[in-house]
Structure 1
Amino acid sequence: MAESEMFEKGLEVRRAVLGAEYVDGGIAKADDFMMAFQRITTEWCWGYAWTREGLDRKTRSLLNLAMLTALGRTPEIKLHTKGALANGVTVEEIKEVLLHATVYCGIPAGLDAFKAAHEVLKAEGAIPATKPAAE
């Protein structure tokens, strides 16, 4: 696949998962220096890895959340929590993958991941914004 084909294929998937407004905004703000990063991200991550057969987008989202927890990449956890919802991942599945990652990555990494995901899940209306009243 030619480089421009991989970029276009990746751009389509990236927009579908992360939202066109977010993706297009990042590309629009990129100067020549940052465009090199936009290009490699769009081609390699989204045009190559995310479009391969073998794993569906839902599974890839779950893997990303686990790996980002291990790496302690809180801003990316927020971004990919929103993307996971777009890919059909349930709140329960997000919770389970974060619990699993917490066991292997440690409590501090898990806590940061839970806080980041919780913020996004509330903002997206996937969970209530307030704690339900005790009965």
Structure 2
Amino acid sequence: MSKDLFKRGEEIRNEVLGEAYVKNSAAVTDAFSEPMRTFAIKNLWGDIWDRPGLDRRSRSMINLAMLAAMDRPAELKIHLRGALNNGVTRDEIQEIFLQVALYCGVPTGSDATRVARLFFAEFDAEKASA
């Protein structure tokens, strides 16, 4: 079963984050970080992201709010890509961060907005060069 969770997790990661991101992530993994990567792929992606209770779009929206609220800009950037790939619009992302600002404070919402603005510029440049 563990092997199946890992395999399914890799499939979902590729679908949500994109093949290029997943390949790069694997390429920079070393012996120290491999156990964490494997744990996340099996449990996060292979189990939770594959559950039927929420669709991927909803999971992405929840992740954006949680990661913004917890001030996790590196993970937020990764999940902005996933959210766009899962059909969340930039307008919806803007609304999510306004909601975060209301409940978690304006600095938190502003930081998330800043991360998204920078990510969108990178994402757009990436798409234009592809």
Q: Displacement, 1:32? A: 2.2
Please tell me the residue identity of whatever aligns with 2:105.
G
Correspondence for 1:58: 57
- Give the greater-gyration-radius structure (CA): 1
Within 5 Å, give how 1:44-123 maps onto structure 2: 44-123=43-122
Write 1 or 2 for the structure with the bigger share of helix.
Answer: 2
Deviation per CA, 1:52-81: give whole Å up to 9, x if none. Answer: 001111100000000001100011111111
In the other structure, the counterpart of 1:37 is 36
Q: Which runs of 5+ in 1 are unaligned?
A: 126-135
Aligned equivalent of 2:128:
none
Query: Per-residue CA shift, 1:21-40, capped at 9, x if unaligned?
Result: 22122223322221101101
Give the ranges of 4+ consecutive aligned residues of structure 1 lying more than 6 Å apart after TM superposition: none
Question: Percent identity at matched positions?
Answer: 41
The AA in structure 1 aligned to 2:62 is L
- Structure 2 unaligned residues grouped into runs of 5+: 125-130
Please report the TM-score for the alignment, with normalisation by the length of structure 2.
Answer: 0.90
Between 116-125 and 52-61, report the one with greater CA deviation: 116-125
Give the AA of the match of 1:86: N
Report the TM-score, using the length of structure 1 for normalisation. 0.87
